[in-house]
Amino acid sequence: MDNTMTIAENNKEFLASEECSLCPTREIALFANLKPEDLLQMHSPIQYKVFEKGDELYAIGQEADYIYTLHDGVLKLEQYLPTGEQRIVRILRRGDLAGIEAVTATNYQHDAIAMTKISVCKIPADIVLDLSLKSPELHENLMNKWQSALTTSDTWLTRLSTGPSRYRVVRLLIWLSENSLDEAFYIPGREDMGNILSLTTETVSRTIAGLRRDGDIELKGSNSARANVSNLKKIVREPT
């Protein structure tokens, strides 16, 4: 059976009242708990779009007109240091929001790039802002998503960018494992891990190889792994 999606299926428009209630991601996404009458108030069409690995959803400085709900795959948010060095500041997965700053800012603050093939809903920011003023449920969901993004940013800044290189790699693996819906979790490529941790690709590769030898992680493919989180936490002296 041919499961290839057509261009039309990969890029379609719909009204929230027509399809959002049927969405399997809805329970963990922005529109969770919204009443049917709330969805009826959203008159601008939402776009369902599919992006291939390496595709850019939006760029730093681009006008922030849309918020993106991630349905499948993995997305990275990048910024650049004054030196021109690339830095991955967050990884997003199913149910996460990209471009949440569109609610309050005029321009995007990151480059958003697909790390795998992804599917998203592209939602006009103005209808989210308008409805959040009328719907307590949407306002609460939006604030929760915002707080989650801030918490993740703080964690990455304080725990993944400082300390010995081995500790940084281990802490990232712990975070990836504990924030995965499945036992096998997505693991970025070595270059991307280096961009997250401010380490060279060689240092990351050497550390991963050592953890594999010690049985602390098991690679299940080029971008999938299982980890013995208890052992990893002992390495960085965290409570298990």
Asked whether residue 53 carries a pLDDT value surpassing 90, the answer given is yes
Task: Tell me whether residue 56 is in a domain.
Answer: yes
- Say whether pLDDT at 41 is over 60: yes
| Same-domain check for residues 22 and 86 | yes
Strand ranges across the sheet with 217-221: 185-186, 224-227, 217-221
Domain count, the chain: 2
Residues 137 and 184 in one domain: no
Q: What are phi and psi of 65, to 5 degrees?
A: -105, -15
Q: Is residue 1 part of a domain?
A: no
Q: In this structure, are residues 160 and 171 in contact, taking their beta carbons and an 8 Å threshold?
A: yes
* 125 and 178, same domain (yes or no): no
Q: What is the pTM of this model?
A: 0.79
Question: Of the ranges 9-13, 62-66, 100-104, 178-182, which is most confident?
Answer: 62-66
Write out the E strands in 23-103: 46-51, 56-58, 66-72, 75-80, 86-92, 97-98
* Average confidence (pLDDT) over 66-95: 88
Could you give the residue ranges of the DSSP H alpha helices within 20-135? Answer: 36-40, 125-132
Last residue of a domain, one of 73, 108, 141: 141
**Separation CA 129–CA 124 (nearest Å):** 9
Which domain CATH number covers 187?
A: 1.10.10.10
Domain hosting 208: range is 165-235
